[in-house]
Amino acid sequence: MRVRIEKVIQGGEGLAVPEDGRRVFVPAVLPGELVEIELVESKSGFSRAELLEILEPSPHRIEERCSYWGVCGGCDFQYADHAEQIRIKEGIIRENFARIGKIDEIRLLPTEVGKPWEYRCRSRFHVDLRSRKVGFLGRNSNELVPIDSCPVLTPKLNSLLKEPDLLIESAYRLQQKNPLVEVGALASRERISLLGREIALPVLDRTLYASSEVFFQSNEVLLEPLVRYVQEHAIGDTVIDLYSGVGTFSAFVEAKRVIAVERNKRCLAFAGKNAPHLDFYTGNVANLAAVQKGRIDTVIVDPPRVGFDRNLHEKIERWGTRRIIYVSCNSVTLARDVGTLVGLGFTLDSVKQFDFYPQTFHHEAVAVLSRGDAG
């Protein structure tokens, strides 16, 4: 079957609609391309296909840079030039807000762009203790793909692949029964954290402390612009940072009172060091409303991919909040939660993409919402 690709959708597949009207999802394609496909799965209303040949390639299609592309399960978007990657992701964000959030028109600000390569400072490597090989899992499999260099990793983190003894030693020390061991790593420009070792990471005019055991933003280049953006949009005397982690955002907020909410004890230990001026709440975000009294001017929230805890939207509304800054790595749940907040009386001021994950279909976005007399 020959089909024309209409657009790229959430998850990175291309959408084609042949004459019979079914929706066909095709991997590794770009908008406008004419391709030959073979259907491999059919369900009610849609089908999935295997790409056989690109008959009319997009002018934005380029040669994949990494020799492991298509085998390694990491990058999945190297066949598009960087500008086209950004444009496609902006389209996906708009569509998710329209389809899921029921907000047809959003003010999407220009994407904050960093480096398309050598940007990632946090990774999870896999080590096969039987063969002493190091790499990443294969595409759509749990099999190890041995790798000696990755072009999206920072040079410091990439050094672990070039000389993998540290990763192999770390895997042995983790003492897992499974011979395929996952080893997390976080790198500053000077040092590498393995097995929870603390390292210092300069951010703007401060130093933050973190380790491979805790969540820390993975884009070395765009972390500072993201922190500054959140800092600039916080208003009022009382600010609360939900899912605060190591205090990456709240450490930079200037307000009379800043409350950081986090359950992970290791994160809290770093947050206390990164921002000792904060008030800390160590319970579940969902239970915070029972103990938090008084108005919260700004809510900063950077939840997991699954989005808000249940009923968190209503709790924020009851705090008399004037500004919400919602940082998300999943525009599906971002659009869903923002749609609910708009239904509670908030106005969506803007959405801005931060190009945190070049060469992949993942994307980071920040939604700013206001209510009442927010400045």
User: How far is Cα 83 from Cα 60, in angstroms, rounded to an integer?
Assistant: 9
Catalytic residue among 66, 121, 150, 329: 329
The token duo for 115 is 């480096």
For 196-228, letters b (16+ CB in 10 Å) and e give eebbebebeeeebbbbbbbbbbbbbbbbbbbbe
d(CA 348, CA 49): 37
What interhelical angle do 82-99 and 331-343 show, nearest 10?
40
Of 332, 289, 324, 282, the closest CA to residue 310 belongs to 289
Q: Pick from 370, 334, 371: which is nearest to 98 by CA?
A: 334
Check if the beta carbon of residue 363 is closer than 8 Å to that of residue 356.
yes
Asked if 372 and 322 touch (Cβ cutoff 8 Å), the reply is yes
CB 113, CB 352: distance < 8 Å: no
75 catalytic? Reply is no
Q: Give the whole-angstrom CA distance, residue 142 versus residue 179.
A: 12
Pairing of strands 298-301, 238-242: parallel
Q: Give catalytic residue positions.
A: 329
